Amino acid sequence: MDIEVLGTLAVREHGVSVTPTAPKPRQVLALLALHADQVVPVSALIEELWAGTPPRSARTTLQTYVLQLRALIANALEQGAAAAEGGGGAEGAEGAAGRRTAKDVLVTLPGGYLLNSGGGTSDVREFDRLAGIGYRAMDAGDFPGAARQLREALALWSGPAFADVHGGIQLDMEARRLEETRLCALDQRIEADLRLGRHRELLAELTVLASRYRTHENLHGQFMLALHRSGRRGEALDVYQRLRATLVRELGLEPSAALRRLQRSILMASPESPVATDTNSERLVRVG
């Protein structure tokens, strides 16, 4: 089974989609897919579907959604088996004898359900794997390797997680968590690129990011650094002033001490001065 949630929801068995079009079964599959190979409690599924006000028939209705999903899975398994048997010979017969059933894929267990991926792919797991390699490369000072691995991890995202699923409490929470992991990887990939002297290459991307994440201090700090190193100190200081105005107006907060130090460092330095970020502490500092 191949699972994609970092964008639109896509779950395939033997290359055949098992993703329903109806909103509620789609929610159920999304939560099961995100936690593939783990038990998802019935209580979590009910909370996702009905947000604390479940009908009396909640468990029965949930079972109906599970049966609908199993019907889609069974169809995909049949198509996969037919393709395997079409090859003929002993391999086709052996595959037919040992193939999974829909109940083997979407398993009922005490207290919940489990989507058995059968060792298939998951974009969330692959993202976590690649990002982890990237973070370790950063810690080791391997900035080219870190940039490469983190860029590959971020390429798995085609849009917001569960972009085409009408989420409830559980999925909305998971989508926010996943977005935070994406932003962390993005932050570190930009940091690696800055360490490699790619400040001019980053300007267009950081212009968009600073506009999209109007109160994200680290992205703004990286934008300031990229501008400063490109000989655009005045624009770097303008970025700080815009961020400060936004923070004060929307959150009633001043920029962090680390960002204020960076602003002062840029204000006092020449464009050639080595202003950088401290990757280990994730605080913006003056170097040299």
Cα 27 from Cα 164, distance rounded (Å): 10
In the chain, % of residues over pLDDT 90 = 82
Report which DSSP code applies to 107: E
Same domain, 129 and 257: no
Mention every residue, 6+ apart, whose C-beta is less than 8 A from residue 151. 189
Last residue of a domain, one of 166, 196, 226: 196
* Model confidence band, residue 99 (pLDDT cutoffs 50, 70, 90): confident
The verdict on 178 and 45 lying in the same domain is: yes
146/216 same-domain check = no
Q: 231 is in which domain, residue-wise? A: 197-288
Which DSSP category does 53 fall into? -
Q: Is 110 in the same domain as 229? A: no
**Shared-domain flag, residues 34 and 117:** yes
Question: Distance of CA 101 to CAs 108, 112, 119, Å?
Answer: 13, 18, 15
Long-range contacts of 117-120 (CB under 8 A, 24+ apart): 117/1, 117/3, 117/36, 117/37, 118/1, 120/1, 120/2, 120/3
Q: Is residue 180 exposed (0-12), middle (13-18) or buried (19+ Cβ within 10 Å)?
A: exposed
Q: Are residues 42 and 185 in the same domain?
A: yes
- Helices 169-195 and 199-212 pack at an angle, to 10 degrees, of 150
User: Do 85 and 177 belong to one domain?
Assistant: yes
Q: For residues 201 and 170, is the Cβ–Cβ distance under 8 A? A: no
CATH number at residue 176: 1.10.10.10
181/227 same-domain check: no
**Chain Cα centroid distance, residue 96:** 36
Residue 151 and residue 8 share a domain: yes
Q: Which residues of 194-221 are buried (b: 16+ CB within 10 A; e: fewer)?
A: bbeebbeebbebbeebbeeeeebbbbbb
Domain count within the chain: 2
Amino acid at 235: E
Looking at the structure, do residues 173 and 279 belong to the same domain, yes or no? no
| Mean pLDDT rounded to a whole number for the chain | 89
**Is the pLDDT at 92 greater than 60, yes or no?**
no
Are 226 and 191 part of one and the same domain? no
Alpha helix segments (H runs only) across 119-254: 123-139, 143-154, 169-195, 199-212, 217-229, 233-251
C-alpha distances out from residue 139 to 95, 188, 199, 204, Å: 46, 11, 21, 27
Helix (H, G, I), strand (E, B) or coil at 142: coil
The pLDDT, as a whole number, for residue 86 is: 65
Residues 182 and 245 in one domain: no
Q: What's the one-letter identity of residue 55?
A: P
Which stretches within 86-122 are classed as H helix? Answer: 89-98, 102-105
Domain of 223, CATH number, reads 1.25.40.10
Helices (H), 37-122: 42-50, 58-85, 89-98, 102-105
260-273: per-residue pLDDT in tens? 999 999 998 754 45
Q: Which of 196, 217, 240 represents a domain boundary (last residue)?
A: 196
Domain end (from 196, 221, 256): 196
pLDDT, average across residues 44-72: 95
- Quick check: 4 pLDDT over 70? yes
pLDDT tens-digit map of 163-221: 999 989 999 999 999 999 999 999 999 999 999 999 999 999 999 999 999 999 999 99
Residue closest to 32 by CA, chosen among 55, 60, 62: 62
DSSP state of 196: T
Residue pair 146/137 in contact by the 8 Å Cβ criterion: yes
